[in-house]
Structure 1
Amino acid sequence: MTQWRSKGADEVYAPEEIEARLKAELPHWTYEDGWIRRKYRTSGWKATLMVVNTVGHLAEAAWHHPDLAVSYAFVVVKLVNHAAKGVTEKDFALAKKIEEVVQWQPAKEEGAVLEGTPNDDARFKYLKYDDLA
């Protein structure tokens, strides 16, 4: 397995370092055409818009902006550091935050008091979570 060393915020990672980090830290993300990317499947348009708005908020708060491809039942998030001309620590940091927030399932937390959206009722189905897909 290829190892990587931590780099500065704007230092570009080599493709083999990117692949190793994704495998270890973000297994649902891929490296393709110079970008790290993730496809989030949703239950339909309303859920898609919620994912887009969530990603938009996180990106704006981080001041690091992804490219998005949006369709009825999915959102593709693509990250690269345009100024650095490659994938940097900023991309990994934002990808982790997006993953943490979008894939959050409150009911799975220890001592959960929030139940989360019911996945057994189509009226309330939201995101197609990785462990429920």
Structure 2
Amino acid sequence: MTTPKDPLLDPSQIADRIARDLPAWHYEDGWIKRTYKTHGWKGTLMVINTVGHLAEAAWHHPDLTASYAWVEVRLTTHSAKGLTEKDLALARKIEEVVGWQPGLEGGALEGTPSDPRFAYVKHDR
């Protein structure tokens, strides 16, 4: 069974959506991209595993590049040869989960301690 090709987003739609929903991401060469800075290898692996879990659940897979203290996530819809709603939806979910800071919400979950031994992702906030 064939499925219809995902409609491509035009550059103005992409720019508007990134500015509104994904300000830490940028559009370049047919991809939306975001680099997550971490406090070291442990945090880098945790980001990679989180993105991997979300990608598998969504059945939409980003390209990843990683080093000791950073992970770059790149999204495009290969079958459509460009950006689609799938890319923006997965980027929003990745941003929500990787960027989650429960300590800022209050409640029972206090979040990661400020002690560098437990540091994880370097948050933009």
How many residues in Structure 1 have an aligned counterpart in Structure 2? 122
Alignment gaps of 5+ in structure 1: 1-7
Alpha-carbon offset, residue 108 of structure 1: 1.5
| Contact 2:5–2:79 under 8 Å retained in 1 | no
Aligned match of 2:68 = 72
Higher helix share: 2
Partner amino acid, structure 1, of 2:13: E
1:91–1:9 CA distance, 2 compared to 1 (3 A): farther
Matches within 5 A, 1:1-133: 10-109=6-105, 111-119=106-114, 121-131=115-125
Q: Tell me which amino acid in the other structure corresponds to 1:74.
A: W
Report deviation, 1:9: 8.2
Aligned alpha-carbon RMSD (Å): 1.3
Distance 1:70 1:124, change over 3 A: same
Structure 2, gaps ≥5 residues long: none
Return structure 1 stretches of 4+ with deviation > 3 angstroms. Answer: none
- TM-score w.r.t. the length of structure 1 is 0.88
- 2:83 and 2:91 map into 1 onto residues whose CA distance is 11
Asked if the contact 2:5/2:80 (under 8 Å) is kept, the reply is no
Distance 1:96 1:9 in 2: 22
1:9 and 1:62 mapped to 2: Cα distance? 17
Q: What is the aligned partner in structure 2 of residue 3 from structure 1?
A: none
- 1:118 positional shift: 1.3
CA distance in 2, matches of 1:108, 1:122: 18
TM-score, length of structure 2 as denominator length: 0.94
